[in-house]
Each structure stands twice: as structure tokens, then as C-alpha cells.
Amino acid sequence: MPEVRLVGPNGEQVGIVRVEDALRLAEEADLDLVEVAPDARPPVCKLMDFGKFKYEAAQKARDARRNQANTVLKEIRFRLKIDPHDYATKKGHVERFLKAGDKVKVMIMFRGREQSRPEMGMRLLQRLAEEIAELGTVESSPRLDGRNMTMVIAPTKRKVEAMQEQRKVRAERQAEREQAPRHGRAERQAGQDQRADETPEAAEATREVIESVEVVENQAPAPVAAAPAETAPAESAAPKAPAAPRAAKAPAAPRAAAPRAAAAKPAAAKAPKESDATEAAGTGTPATPKPAAAPRPAAPKPKAAPAAPRSSSATGSPKPGPRA
């Protein structure tokens, strides 16, 4: 029968027992039987809560990753003729990197004839190192590398300490945001407690004041309705005179239609003018047609004169005949 060396849940040694006994003990304790040393003779098993064991292992691994110090080398570049505002901006970046616990590599790039003045780059780097002496120290002094001059600055705080400070600041800000609404609730609760702690005499006085105010409001006189306007008895007694009927309009006389002339028109006769028809309609007499005009005889056309012979030139000389 296989046997195992059993370890209790608190680390105590139970001894070498059979596998069936170890499983029975684990079932009675509502725990798991986990083999921790399979290569040992006999194998070592432990009674534990396997789910809790895995959770604690994951938490430890996460804490180890969080506290792991991964120092990063940041790089920032300057020009020899840098503007004061640009210098202040880049110096702010260097300070931010050093506060986070990272190293900073500062580089100055020379162009053209600036390579003949390396002392100016040296003075610029020394000025930067003096201004940020509280946050970092010079790890690598300035040295010329081709057309560039470099310097490495190391932070005074370790990476782990900087990360812990950042987490602490974030936790304080979170606590302040959560505490802000609680202050309001605490003040309201304090007001309610104060009203609850009032003496019976003060509560009775407050109640009497409220009742007196209600009585005054109930005894207020009701608004008087406006009296109806009095009317004169003479006007009410005298009946109104009936309105005179309107006179009916006389019917309009029908217009007399002018008789039209029914005389037949001759073939060559012209139609009467509109003015004559208008005058006849105004007088009421039929219009007299005008006599037709007699046709005029056609005048004989004159005979054309014989055409003159054409001249060959503008002078009018006759055209020469054929040669004999």
C-alpha cells in the first residue's frame, strides 16, 4: 500500500501515513491534499486550501513586479545656442525624469564652427548640473564624442523609493476625493443630532410658535367681492325704439339694346367704321351704309427706252473692231 509523508495545514508533521488515511483527513478538515515534493521517498503531501494558495502566489508575483526597479536611461538634447525658454523647458524634463528615479543622458550637439568652441558646451552642462544638484548627481562627467558632448546624471533617490512616493501621493488624492462628500453627510448628520438633542421646553416653544402662525393665517379676512355696478332705472325701464327699416333700392332700368342694321353688304363695299357704329348706338337710329367706291382704271405703263451701247472704258471711246 503506497504511503506519503503528511504535513498539517499549519506546518506540523503528521508522519508517514497511507494515502487513504491522508485523503480521509483532508476530507474531514475540508481541505485539499497537495503533493509538494514528488521526488522524495516517500512523497511529501500537505493539507491546504489550494485556491487560496494560488491566489497568494499571484499576489506575491504582482508585488514583486511592482517593486522591481527597472532604471531607464532617458536622453535629452541641447543646442549650443539654445533659447532661455527652451532651456527652461528641457531642464523641467530632466527634473521630471530624475524625480521618477531614472538616469538622464544630456547631449549637446555642435554644428559647423561650433566644434571649435567645446568650452561653451562644457559651461552649459556644468550650469545644468548645478541647477539640478538637489535631484541628481553627475555620474559621468562631460566628454566630447565626435560632434557631441555627453554627460550622465543619476538620481539621488532609488527607483523603488520614487515609485513608493508616487503611489502614496495617488492614495492621498484618492482619499481626499472620497472624503469630500463624507464631510457634507457628516454636517447634515450633526444638524439632525442637534435637533434631536433639544430640550422638551425648547421643542414646546417651537411648536407654540408654529401653531400661532397657523392661527393667524386662518383668521385672515376673506377678500371682499366687488359690488355690481348700479344701472339707472330710467334706462332699464324705457324700452328701446325699434330700428327704422332700411329703404329698398329701386331696381335698375334695363339698358336699351341698339338695333343692328340687317342690310346686305355689297361685294366691294367696306365695313363701317367703329365710330359710326358708336354714334348710331348712341342715337338709336340704324347706321346708313356708305356707297361703294368706283374702281379706278389702271394707268398704262410707259415703254422702256432703248439701252445705250456699253463703252469699253471710262472715257466712252468705242471698242476697236477686228483687224483686216
pLDDT digits (tens, 9 = 90+) for 51-109: 999 999 999 988 877 766 677 899 999 999 999 999 999 999 999 999 888 899 999 99
Evaluate whether 157 touches 101 at the Cβ level (below 8 Å).
yes
Q: Which amino acid is at 16?
A: I
Distance, in Å, from the CA atom of 284 to the CA atom of 177, rounded to the nearest integer, reads 112
How crowded is the C-beta side of 182, counted as CA atoms within 13 Å? 5
**Residues contacting 3, CB < 8 A, separation 6+:** 16, 17, 18, 19, 42
| pLDDT value at 233 more than 50 | no
Q: What is the mean pLDDT of the chain?
A: 75
Predicted local distance difference test score (pLDDT) of residue 199: 61
| pLDDT value at 322 more than 70 | no
SS3 content of the chain, % helix, strand, coil (to 5): 40, 15, 40
Q: How far separated are the first and last CA of the chain, in Å rounded?
A: 170
Task: Report CA-CA distances (Å) from 136 to 152, 162, 227.
Answer: 10, 13, 96
| pLDDT value at 321 more than 80 | no
Mean pLDDT of 263-272: 49
| pLDDT value at 34 more than 70 | yes
| pLDDT value at 271 more than 60 | no
pLDDT digits (tens, 9 = 90+) for 293-309: 666 766 667 666 666 65
Give 100's DSSP letter. T
How crowded is the C-beta side of 211, counted as CA atoms within 13 Å? 6
Evaluate whether 144 touches 125 at the Cβ level (below 8 Å).
no
Predicted local distance difference test score (pLDDT) of residue 177: 84
Predicted local distance difference test score (pLDDT) of residue 208: 78
Evaluate whether 144 touches 116 at the Cβ level (below 8 Å).
no
| Geometric angle at alpha carbon 239, from 233 and 245, rounded to 5° | 150
| pLDDT value at 257 more than 70 | no
Predicted local distance difference test score (pLDDT) of residue 166: 80
Predicted local distance difference test score (pLDDT) of residue 71: 73
Predicted local distance difference test score (pLDDT) of residue 163: 78
Closest C-alpha to 139, from 149, 152, 126: 152
Predicted local distance difference test score (pLDDT) of residue 279: 47
Mean pLDDT of 110-131: 92
Locate 90 and state its grid cell. Answer: 528641457
| pLDDT value at 232 more than 50 | no
Looking at the chain, the whole-number percentage of residues with pLDDT higher than 90 is 26
Looking at the chain, the whole-number percentage of residues with pLDDT higher than 70 is 58
pLDDT digits (tens, 9 = 90+) for 150-184: 999 999 888 778 777 888 888 888 888 888 766 55
pLDDT digits (tens, 9 = 90+) for 194-224: 665 556 666 677 777 777 766 666 665 555 5
Domains of the chain, earliest start first: 3-66 (3.10.20.80), 73-162 (3.30.110.10)
Predicted local distance difference test score (pLDDT) of residue 236: 45
Predicted local distance difference test score (pLDDT) of residue 280: 45
